[in-house]
Amino acid sequence: MKIFKLENQLITPEELREFEREIGLSLPEDYKAHMLEYNGAAAPGIDVFFGEPDDGINFSCFLPIKYPDSSMVVEKKDYLPENHLCVGLTGTGYLAMSLDQQTYGSIYVFYSEVELKFLAASFTEFVDGLTNYSDEPVFRCGTRKAMDELAEELNLRFEEWMQDWPYEVADPADLDKYLDHYQTLADEDKKFVLMEAIIQATNDQDTDELFELSWKKIEPLLEKDFAIHEYTIHYWACFDNDHLEDAFRIAGNMRLLWFENWEGYA
């Protein structure tokens, strides 16, 4: 289950290798895979914890290697032990990763006193220990791999800077092409990304008649794969907007679908 929010411009494998050369150390493979996918990544809200909410670590974000939204990036700190990097933020502190031979890949939390507290033996173990305790659906976003493959399969434009790629390239005139391709997919990440484009194409149909016809085509797919698309459905339902006329055209349909299928209401 993906609980990370893409916030920074993505990096290339060469930029990652350049960073390793700059610090003179090799990064763990699981961490490198994550950074190529997200270049950092933020929690979707304030309720993501490593451990229980009462006594756990409130995760905030992993820092990017470059192209930050803020001034903070992954780096060595003078006050950290040798061969340790500051790699993330918690609600009240920081996350460090050891690149020392004895504790290679281990994740720690530290605060102003810079005393490291062990959390996990690897980046993967730390990520697997994160839980979103919000009663809203868990945040999910498209993977770089899924976008790359769909762009090639559907002959769609893809640029590195396109963080909202499926919404940016969706064409209402190509809705049936997207739907036909969706039916061939087994990979859930690709289904998730392509459905974002399908919903955008449906929402942008030229007339109300075409919109209603399009909705009848996509509604069964959303119901069938509700577990994959629950975050997307919740987003398009615009529950934070009390005035439906000011929300997305498709918001009313999405709200009804949500109430009929989400386990919190069903």
C-alpha span between 236 and 251 (Å, rounded): 6
Q: What is the pLDDT of the chain when averaged over all its residues?
A: 91
Number of domains in the chain: 2
Residue 39 has pLDDT above 80, yes or no: yes
pLDDT of residue 203: 97
In a domain, 2, yes or no: no
Claim to verify: residue 113 and residue 215 sit in the same structural domain: no
Count of Cβ atoms closer than 10 Å to residue 53 Cβ: 11
Say if residue 37 is exposed, middle or buried (CB neighbours under 10 Å; 0-12, 13-18, 19+).
Answer: middle
In a domain, 138, yes or no: no
In a domain, 239, yes or no: yes
In a domain, 139, yes or no: no
- Whole-angstrom Cα Rg for the chain: 21
pLDDT of residue 89: 94
Claim to verify: residue 75 and residue 152 sit in the same structural domain: no
C-alpha span between 257 and 260 (Å, rounded): 5
Claim to verify: residue 165 and residue 122 sit in the same structural domain: no
Claim to verify: residue 52 and residue 87 sit in the same structural domain: yes
Q: Which residue has the higher pLDDT, 114 or 59?
A: 59
Calculate mean pLDDT across residues 240-265.
Answer: 87
Q: What is the pTM of this model?
A: 0.57
pLDDT of residue 116: 95
In a domain, 221, yes or no: yes
In a domain, 234, yes or no: yes
Residue 1 has pLDDT above 50, yes or no: no
Calculate mean pLDDT across residues 125-129.
Answer: 94
In a domain, 180, yes or no: yes
Claim to verify: residue 96 and residue 152 sit in the same structural domain: no
Count of Cβ atoms closer than 10 Å to residue 23 Cβ: 14
Q: What percent of the chain has pLDDT over 70?
A: 96
Domain boundary pick from 110, 132, 154: 132
Claim to verify: residue 128 and residue 158 sit in the same structural domain: no
234-240 CB contacts, 8 Å cutoff, 24+ apart? 234/136, 234/137, 234/258, 234/262, 236/199, 236/203
Residue 15 has pLDDT above 60, yes or no: yes
Domain encompassing residue 150: 144-261
Domain boundary pick from 132, 164, 184: 132
CATH number at residue 77: 3.40.1580.10
* Residue with the two structure tokens 């989400």: 262
Residues 72-105 have pLDDT tens digits of: 899 999 899 999 999 999 999 999 999 999 999 9
Claim to verify: residue 112 and residue 174 sit in the same structural domain: no
Domain boundary pick from 132, 161, 180: 132
Residue 264 has pLDDT above 60, yes or no: no
Claim to verify: residue 216 and residue 108 sit in the same structural domain: no
Q: Are strands 84-90 and 41-42 parallel, antiparallel or unpaired?
A: unpaired
Claim to verify: residue 113 and residue 174 sit in the same structural domain: no
Say if residue 196 is exposed, middle or buried (CB neighbours under 10 Å; 0-12, 13-18, 19+).
Answer: buried
Residue 265 has pLDDT above 60, yes or no: no
pLDDT of residue 263: 65
Claim to verify: residue 128 and residue 44 sit in the same structural domain: yes
Q: Are 15 and 65 in contact (CB under 8 A)?
A: yes
Residues 40-59 have pLDDT tens digits of: 998 877 788 998 888 889 99
Claim to verify: residue 23 and residue 67 sit in the same structural domain: yes
Residue 229 has pLDDT above 60, yes or no: yes
pLDDT of residue 138: 77
In a domain, 251, yes or no: yes
Q: Which residue has the higher pLDDT, 263 or 188?
A: 188
Residue 242 has pLDDT above 80, yes or no: yes
Claim to verify: residue 65 and residue 157 sit in the same structural domain: no
